[in-house]
A and B are shown apart, each in its own frame.
Chain A
């Protein structure tokens, strides 16, 4: 009896190893689901649907990618689920938002950190910008931040929440001017934060470049500065970076979006995904739809993303250390 049990166990183990091998070789044999930790219709969801629409193509994954939304608590619900419950067989992938999930893991209270996930590739980078209403008295970033420096805590600035890119940018600006801003996190994401600026509820706002660009096109806001290393030549060639205006704010707040898998996913699967996914992002149809939506693309391969994650981890740990 005991012997038979042992035999069965050995047999089972053998089949299991065999199946893992086979799994990696034939991958993917069925549709892949991709978890987005924000609601349907949000910027991340919207972009995720565009960049994965060609997945079924012969040259890419040969199987479609299906989007599953698990929104809640600024992304924590989805990423908690992905780190603890998602299968690491390559059939469940997720969208990541940097700096959000790294900042959240530094803040604590979540079940993941950068080590819980393996990046595959990056598709987009949406820098934060500083906006004021179209009829605001401030016309340059120097005027606005000069006033903020002299009146600590008097300049109300709206943003999409805590520990998101907008919040990080606000913290960096505070550090650069050596004074306080009144950062107002909104519920309801970037759209609600933009509404607060347009309606004059707040003096200024920090928002996504793509949304701010559209709001400026419709004549509702002025964009004063970009929190990135270089100007956005494609969308806002006339808007200076904070850095060139003399404020020491780098690109730590840029919202990077891409695809990742849970740690422990078979190496062959990661390899295959890392090989095919960037090509999928480069597809002309994807680029056309993304450009139409005003969503800046930034395609990065796995190695580049790993380096970027490490760099963010370091910057954010320093920046947020002073906050607690």
Chain B
């Protein structure tokens, strides 16, 4: 309970002002496509040069917390996930927004973020020593199996056809191979300078999610019908709270998965949201409703990606190992004030360390308050007529992809990916599995090659990859996940077959993208 002594530090006037500023600023930065939490924190570091260590860290902690949650805003309203963590949020969140339930989607997203985030920080406060050992338990072989576990999700994610889902995933895996491979020193598919560094994930997210949507909006033309905007009903906070309480299962799955996966250095933050989303769907009585505006999807994804924030700092604070790119930037922020994280951090600098963690706890609550306040305004974006919206999103997409590394090449890559994705969606491929392939490819590949190199120096690959309790557990989970997908797809096929006999069965406007709009039909 030592941390309680240090709450005073958070409420000093300057500290609290920074906390407020960091939270509001973080929400706005997070909501801007192309600005990932990592970049937002990196941009703030120079400001902390002038501040005392504690206050500098309060600013960084608040900004980190808020940008992760802020990414949900663009995911829900524009279907552009701000960071890989928000991909799963976009699936159901945007469907909800286009049904006129944008405010509600934002409400549950921030509430779920708050619950997940507070749980994560509490884990950081109470269980750090235990968790530190867990974070180190994952070697290359385990990370490889983790990535494969992620791959098993690919086929069933946001796709009507299992085979096309898998093919989209393969395409993503191939795209992830482009660029210079730093483990074997090979150049792969580099036909142009802009591809030397591979395809940046933020650039890809913007292209793949935003561009098809822009084209879709413009292709509909300027008929009276199109210019009439979606009607948004008033959605009170109370109804959103009730919705959250009805989805306790999604909330707990999200929080638990996020906290556990978030700990694993190098993998956690990227896939926590997607794995939580997938688990929630598998345990749901109505898996078919996911991707069509089921709030449970938003709740699972957002609680997971904020639950991951606290635990992802465990390896940083105890072992000085940054577990995620954002943690690496925070490490820089600590060092610049002469603070070396490590097992004796809490003995040497208790004030700095605890005030920082406490500020993240308070930051989570402030984020919920401001998020909900912003939600009612932000959701008005849904009132903007599609042609104007398309132009605005296009500007954001161009700026966002350029700003990732000040490179025009990234803009061209973004546009190419976007236009290709539009065509692929026309024939029934989907974006989410493709992006998942793009994220998991490098993790699986790098860890497999590293693992094999280590295995060759030891007792061989079979021994290295297939023995030990953790490897076997993960292999078991992979098999269970595949089996579950197989049986549930058979079950839902029967379900769909039955449902199609009853006309008027619920189907949102986003549903049946592939079936409803065959390539031949033009407006």
Contact = CB atoms under 8 A, between A and B. Distances in A.
A292 B41 CA distance: 20
Given A196-B139, A211-B320, A220-B319, 5 more contacts: A50-B336, A71-B197, A72-B200, A199-B137, A292-B338
A199 B139 CA distance: 8
Interface of B: 38-39, 41-43, 45-46, 49, 136-140, 179-180, 182-185, 187, 193, 196-198, 200, 265-266, 315, 318-322, 325, 328-332, 335-338, 340-345, 405-407, 442, 446, 450, 453-454, 456-458
B112 to A, nearest CB: 28
Closest CB pairs A-B (n = 6): A72-B197, A218-B342, A41-B329, A292-B338, A40-B42, A73-B180
Contacts of B139: 196, 199-201
Interface string A187-209: 11001101110111110000000
Contact of A185 (B183, B196, B315, B458): B183
Given A76-B197, A185-B183, A156 B342 contact: no
Contacts of A184: 450, 453-454
A110 to B, nearest CB: 8
Contacts, number: 163
Contacts of B183: 161-162, 185-187
Interface of A: 39-42, 45-46, 49-50, 53, 68-74, 76-77, 80-81, 84, 107, 109, 111, 153-156, 161-163, 182, 184-188, 191-192, 194-196, 198-202, 211, 214-215, 217-220, 289, 292-294
A41 B336 contact: no
B405 A71 contact: yes
Given A182-B454, A199-B139, A201-B454, A72 B340 contact: no
Nearest to B183: A185
A187 B446 contact: yes
B343 A218 contact: yes
A111 B458 CA distance: 39
Contact of B320 (A68, A80, A218): A218
A71 B266 CA distance: 18
Nearest to B198: A72
Nearest to A288: B338
28 contacts: A40-B39, A45-B42, A46-B335, A46-B336, A53-B46, A72-B200, A73-B196, A74-B182, A76-B197, A109-B187, A156-B454, A156-B457, A162-B182, A162-B183, A184-B450, A191-B322, A191-B328, A192-B266, A194-B321, A195-B136, A198-B136, A198-B319, A199-B136, A200-B136, A214-B320, A218-B345, A292-B336, A294-B340
A292 B197 contact: no
Residue among A40, A70, A111, A184 facing the most chain B CB atoms (10 A cut-off):
A40
Nearest to A295: B335
Contacts of B266: 188, 192
Residue among B330, B344, B457 facing the most chain A CB atoms (10 A cut-off):
B457
Given A215-B320, A218-B341, A41 B325 contact: yes
Contacts of B335: 46, 292-294
A147 B332 CA distance: 36
A39 B324 CA distance: 13
A185 B449 CA distance: 10
B38 A41 contact: yes
Contacts of B407: 70, 81
A198 B329 CA distance: 20
A220 to B, nearest CB: 6
A73 B182 contact: yes
A292 B333 CA distance: 11
A136 B329 CA distance: 30
Nearest to B316: A191
Contacts of B318: 218
Nearest to B179: A73
A218 B335 CA distance: 14
A189 to B, nearest CB: 8
B134 to A, nearest CB: 11
Contacts of B200: 72
Contacts of B46: 49, 53
B406 A70 contact: yes
B136 A219 contact: no
B185 A73 contact: no
Contacts of B182: 73-74, 161-162, 185, 187
B442 to A, nearest CB: 7
Contacts of A155: 457
Given A80-B193, A182-B453, A292-B335, A214 B185 contact: no
A74 B38 contact: no
B454 A73 contact: no
A219 B320 CA distance: 10
A39 B325 contact: yes
A221 B233 CA distance: 60
Contacts of B457: 153-156, 182
B521 to A, nearest CB: 41
B140 A201 contact: yes
